[in-house]
């Protein structure tokens, strides 16, 4: 029985890889080309990214449920902050967001075949080992916020490989929030980690839940408020995770 289960899991992992690759290649022109035409065409690329995410979800039997969508207010720019538990977070978040956004992504993603091209086009890339690169990426995210786009930052800095619900948060998202006076919109992904643990290609079909909390305003805050803002956001996200786990 154990051998049969291992064979089925390997077959499933191959099937997921096939779906991921084939449909990303098929939809690649619609995802990448709009970004080369200029910022104002980026929304077209995100329509194709959502289509890819939906196809990926349906064909891999990974179901996503969304809670708190009413907390997205039309016409507002947000600093989306999320936990990061698995590669499977990405399709769910892409389907969750109501409009165009820009994620902060580490340069290592550029090495992934096909997906690396998309990351280069649709995301703000950062080399975490370079202070200069971190500053450039933060400045670029600030300009996008002030131009009316929302941005996404995984506040733990990397996928959570610990047994704790959340890892310590990085300061970047909160510095941007204070500098731009734009609101933070906290969200969490629950259930993706067990389906595809970080650093592995072992996968299972299953159910992933995404929760969005009300926005946290930052108008009037200064640098002295950074740690309190970070703690407030962490408390909100931790409570959502614990409530979701029951």
Do residues 73 and 215 touch, judged by C-beta distance below 8 A? Answer: yes
What does the pLDDT average to over 2-18? Answer: 87
| Residue 81, strand partner residues | 153, 186
Q: Which residue blocks in 61-130 are alpha helix, DSSP H?
A: 89-96, 115-122
- Model confidence at 178, in pLDDT bands (50, 70, 90)? very high
CATH superfamily of 62-245: Glycerol-3-phosphate (1)-acyltransferase (3.40.1130.10)
pLDDT number for residue 156: 94
**Distances from the Cα of 172 to the Cαs of 21, 81, 102, in angstroms?**
32, 11, 15
The tokens describing 219, both together, are 């108008």
pLDDT in tens, 17-45: 999 899 999 998 998 888 878 777 888 98
User: What percent of the chain has pLDDT above 90?
Assistant: 57
What does the pLDDT average to over 197-213? Answer: 90
pLDDT in tens, 91-128: 999 999 998 888 887 777 777 776 776 777 777 777 77
pLDDT number for residue 219: 93
Mean pLDDT of the chain: 89
């Amino acid at each position: 029985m154990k051998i049969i289960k291992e064979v089925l899991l390997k077959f499933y992992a191959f099937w997921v890889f096939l779906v991921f690759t084939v449909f990303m290649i098929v939809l690649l022109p619609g995802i990448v080309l709009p970004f080369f035409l200029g910022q104002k065409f980026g929304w077209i690329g995100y329509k194709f990214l959502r289509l890819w995410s939906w196809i990926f979800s349906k064909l891999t039997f990974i179901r996503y449920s969304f809670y708190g969508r009413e907390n997205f207010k039309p016409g507002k720019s947000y600093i989306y902050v999320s936990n990061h538990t698995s590669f499977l977070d990405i399709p769910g978040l892409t389907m969750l967001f109501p409009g165009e956004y820009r994620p902060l992504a580490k340069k290592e993603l550029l090495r992934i075949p096909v997906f690396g091209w998309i990351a280069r086009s649709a995301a703000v890339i950062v080399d975490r080992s370079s202070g200069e690169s971190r500053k450039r990426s933060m400045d670029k995210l600030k300009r996008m916020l002030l131009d009316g786009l929302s941005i996404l930052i995984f506040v733990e800095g990397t996928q959570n490989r610990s047994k704790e619900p959340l890892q310590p948060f990085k300061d970047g998202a909160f510095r941007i929030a204070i500098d731009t006076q734009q609101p933070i919109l906290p969200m969490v992904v629950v259930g993706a980690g067990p389906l595809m643990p970080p650093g592995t290609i072992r996968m299972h079909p299953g159910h992933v839940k995404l929760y969005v909390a009300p926005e946290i305003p930052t108008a009037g805050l200064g640098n002295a408020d950074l740690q309190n803002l970070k703690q407030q956001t962490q408390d909100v996200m931790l409570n959502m995770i614990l409530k979701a786990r029951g």
